[in-house]
Amino acid sequence: MKNTKFINSTYIAGGLLILFAALLFSSMNAIAKFIFIDKTNYIPALQLTFARYVIASILIAPFIVFTPKRFKTKFAHRYILRTLAGFGGIALMFIAVRHIPLAAATAIGFTSPIFTMLFAAILLGEYIGSKRWVSALIGLIGAIIITDIGNTSITFGSLIAIGAAVFMGAEIVGVKWLSKTPDHSVTILFYSNFAGAVISFILALPSWVWPTLQQTFLLVSIGLVAVLGQACVLMAMRRADANFLAPFFYASLIYSALFGFFIFDENISMPIALGSGAIVISAFMMMRSHRIPIVTATSAITPESKTNA
């Protein structure tokens, strides 16, 4: 029988889930930017962050309540890094999308693996080869190009987005640190979101602005879209390896560009296009050393069969 190669249908399903998750996360940033448009009743970014966290906490809570043992954890100190880093990444990204095009903020956000690599080397002692250093440099150059030095508004927003990417990179390391504990994934999600809700509420309270009915609907939508996106990512990860799924996240660049063009009348400038291209090249260089899972017609191996073998 001819040894014809094809990508397992389970992996295809995983890829489609990531494409949908990318659409949801892009929608979340677009909703945040749309809320900022209302100058008559300006909602601070910290309130958007609170909405993102509190809705997630409410939706996850039943899975904790009906399984009380999941409330217990002996690793509260490990949640601090993940919570603070996640909070910083979300809050700063919401601020960034207010000042720069969605596509630019999204592209800079993709530099987070660079900072994950750096934090993993410093905190976890992981080895970084020369090729990864080169790819990291290319990605950082791409982010610098997008900052468009000379355009004050773009430069400020881009620097905020870079700050968000730093926090997101630290968050991944925090997640990896937590994954080494026996805590259930639901426990990790609940405490991370609940702590984020508490922190963002305390910080947002001094400048709290009561939203209009339309803004309330949009704020709730941010939380719902974010949780649904996370659910899609989790389902995708059960179906395919992370290195196979990672490139599908770059659909966010297309979604963000389309949202920006049709909703916010944003055009893709040359610095954004060049910088985004450099960041994408950087990311693919980082992934190149990992083999994309391919199965053959004579040995259809799925993630499940590997697990059960």
Percentage of the residues of the chain whose pLDDT score is greater than 90:
39
Q: Where are the beta strands (DSSP E) in the chain?
A: 5-6, 295-296
Residue 112: its pLDDT value, please? 87
Residue (of 191, 199, 153) closest to 175 by Cα position: 191
Q: Are 265 and 302 in contact (CB under 8 A)?
A: no
- Which helix (H) or strand (E) is 116 found in, with range? helix 112-123
Torsion angle (degrees, nearest 10) of CA 226, 230, 233, 239: -140
Residue 300 has pLDDT above 60, yes or no: no
φ and ψ of 67, to 5 deg: -135, 75
Q: Are 104 and 157 in contact (CB under 8 A)?
A: yes
Average pLDDT, integer, range 245-260: 87
Q: Are 292 and 243 in contact (CB under 8 A)?
A: yes
Residue 181: its pLDDT value, please? 84
Q: What angle is formed at CA 227 by the lines to CA 60 and CA 264, rounded to 5 degrees?
A: 150
Give the span between the Cα atoms of 17 and 232, in whole angstroms.
6
Question: Hey, what are 74's tokens?
Answer: 């002996």
Residue 75 buriedness (CB in 10 A; 0-12 / 13-18 / 19+): middle
Give per-residue pLDDT as tens, 108-121.
998 888 888 888 88
What's the pTM value of the predicted model, to 2 decimals? 0.84
Residue 53 has pLDDT above 50, yes or no: yes
pLDDT band at 255 (very low <50, low <70, confident <90, very high): very high
Q: What share of the chain is helix, strand, coil (3-state, %, to 5)?
A: 80, 0, 20
Give per-residue pLDDT as tens, 135-157.
888 988 988 888 776 566 678 88
Residue 220: its pLDDT value, please? 96
Percentage of the residues of the chain whose pLDDT score is greater than 70:
88
